[in-house]
Structure 1
């Protein structure tokens, strides 16, 4: 599948709320027919959890969240929090009678935070990989599909893996794509970044030729700058690791099988009852991209 200029769908940052509480707290248990939990309240005393699982702090789900819109975005450590996982994770927590404490950080820092037992979950639509499964628990299912996107100046619009041979490519440190990109292009051609905004700034400055990352991140930037484009590539048998359709989930504490079961149950229901599609629309994900993210290809 390729989303080309003029027909491609793009993602954009959801409108930021006017004010946020010190922590994102949930007002009560939630169901699929209720609005998303709002910040500023506490879990109702008579809340009955749909599932029960251990957390670091009783009654609180502590989430190290990769700060990268539109998947998850925080203006500060205390919010306001916007984006896809900023809605889905609180809904999951609310039905299990848990308050949410978001800790925004880079992806690499979030992985370390979870590994060291300082958080219960790694949020921000995280790709499932065998390497992460060795360290973290991962769901059986997934909340969204994802694939590689190439972001570049519109005049370049790299549409194949080989079209970037000999070019300077940026990617996010700790990403699944780092090693496959180095294998395809050579380590000297890959520049790693701690944040998506820094990568895009270097692209605009001409220090790199393209950014290779999750396509949803690329659409978020190119929607706001008409001089740049994000391309989703089709299957390329010579580069299966770069063009494979991957699954997003919420890595969590290894061995917490009760949490894994609760997450899988939520994923199944959230996709079936239209919650995921609703949240994608709320975050201005276009129809063509949303279909890929929900249904695959």
Structure 2
């Protein structure tokens, strides 16, 4: 029920970036194109190279797909708003954007934990690895990650749809997310805040602890390996994923769990842009630079297409 001092919102005015919009348009367009190109290249490499038809790269292809979806939820609307006199988004468009954004976020947290378990099983339990990470188990794990993100997002979106807004509907942000909506509402936000804290524990902290535990076990196993070659190979396959997971969980924590007393609209917008826009671009770059198998597959494809310098 909408009260006397509450308005039935039809659209939000986004106030995240008010200066340098031409520069930001070019910057975000470049980042978006790099994200699409890099993650599409990972998907193509995993599909084309038989050496990459393994559980680790099966999950990597899902990560690339998630990163493409992640960027496509926010960046095209940001680019369109940069070409308009005033940045706006419709009420239902805002809820839809928030739903898909948080679905991708939750799914990526779970997927990074599954990828860490895959590395743990491959290095610490190699005899059981073929059974633990069978084709059926991998498909079920990937589907579970997507479902986990969708369920988490559905809760936040349902709670957000019940919020009321008094006076001007302005969001000090460049896209729709839970924190800026909670700051703009005049409703009681306790239910949404509890849901956000619960998600930070079960959707964010839980997978992070699983990643940490997996890599502590991996480190203990690697240090016991008798040859330097075995250690180097293990670190080669793990370092890229560990770096991706660290960047993602750190930026996610900054985005959703920063104390309200230290809130700054400019800092909030910058952290969110790093978390949702820049990180998806970095993931394929990290994997291509840190993973020998991905680099090898890329060189083979380039040689097949006759690209210069591919023999290096």
Query: TM-score of the superposition, structure 2-length normalised?
Result: 0.27
Which structure's residues are more often helix, by fraction?
2
Larger Rg: 2
Which structure's residues are more often strand, by fraction?
1
